[in-house]
Amino acid sequence: MFGLIRLPLLLCIAFVAGVLFERNAHTDRCLDAGGRVVANLCEGGRR
């Protein structure tokens, strides 16, 4: 019974971890390009 609950729980945890990882990577790329993140968008960064 626990196995039926564990799989969706682990999938949700992995999804949230992936979203947080990508958000952090986006912020790092924006800051490296000389921009700033406003409302999850990079402003002022050069390509």
pLDDT 10s digits, 2-44: 888 999 999 999 999 999 999 999 999 999 999 999 998 999 8
Kindly indicate the confidence band of residue 47, based on its pLDDT and cuts at 50, 70 and 90.
low
Residue-range domain boundaries for the chain: 2-43
- N-to-C CA span, the chain: 51
- The whole-model pTM stands at 0.75
Backbone phi and psi for residue 42, each to the nearest 5 degrees, phi listed first: -85, 125
Classified as helix, coil or strand, 47 is coil
Residue 4: burial class (beta carbons within 10 Å; 0-12, 13-18, 19+): exposed
